[in-house]
Amino acid sequence: MLTRVLTLAERVGFGSPPESAVRQSTSAVRVAASGLVALTGFVLLVPNLAPFLRGADDGLVVALSLLGSAVSAGLVAAGGLLYRSRFSDRNAARIAVWNLLGVSSSEASWPRTPPRRGCSRAASTPRRSPSAIF
C-alpha cells in the first residue's frame, strides 16, 4: 500500500522537491517582477498619503488614508520579498501580472461618465432633501 501511495505521489509531482525549495538565481524576470509589485505600492502610496498630509479634519478620512498607506507599504514590502523568495521566475512573473490585473481592473471600474455639454454634472442632478431620501 505504501509503495502505491509513493508511486502515485511521484506521478502527481510530489516525488522530487518542488522548485520553490531550491534558491533561485537572480534574473531579469525576477527583478522586473519584484520591481513591478514594489512600483505598484509606491504609485498607490502617493494618493493614499495625500489626505493625511494635507491635514484632513474628518477622522474617517484619516483612518482610511492610513489604512490605504499600510496596504501600499505592504505592496512595497511584497516586492522586496518577491525578489528574495524561492518562487521560480515564471511564478514571480505570474504574481506580477496578477498584481497588474488587479490594479487595472479596479481602475476600470471607476465611474467615468462625462458631463453633458453646456452644464456641469452638479447642475443637471436635481437636489433632494434628506427627508425625501429616507
Cβ-based neighbour number of residue 79 at 10 Å = 22
pLDDT at site 10: 72
Is residue 110 packed enough to be buried (19+ CB in 10 Å), middle (13-18) or exposed (0-12)?
exposed
DSSP one-letter string for 2-21: HHHHHHHHHHHT-SSPPGGG
pLDDT at site 71: 92
Read off the pLDDT of residues 16-59 as tens digits, 9 standing for 90 and up: 555 545 555 678 999 999 999 999 999 999 888 888 788 878 88
User: What are the backbone angles phi and psi of residue 78, rounded to the nearest 5°?
Assistant: -65, -35
Can you read off the three cell numbers belonging to residue 47?
494618493
Assessment of whether the complete model's pTM goes beyond 0.75: no
Read off the pLDDT of residues 76-130 as tens digits, 9 standing for 90 and up: 999 999 998 888 889 999 999 999 888 877 665 555 555 556 655 555 555 555 5
**pLDDT higher than threshold 80 for residue 11:** no
pLDDT at site 29: 92
Q: Tell me how far apart the terminal alpha carbons of the chain are, to the nearest angstrom.
A: 68
Comparing 4-13, 21-30, 65-74, 107-116, the range with the smallest average pLDDT is: 107-116
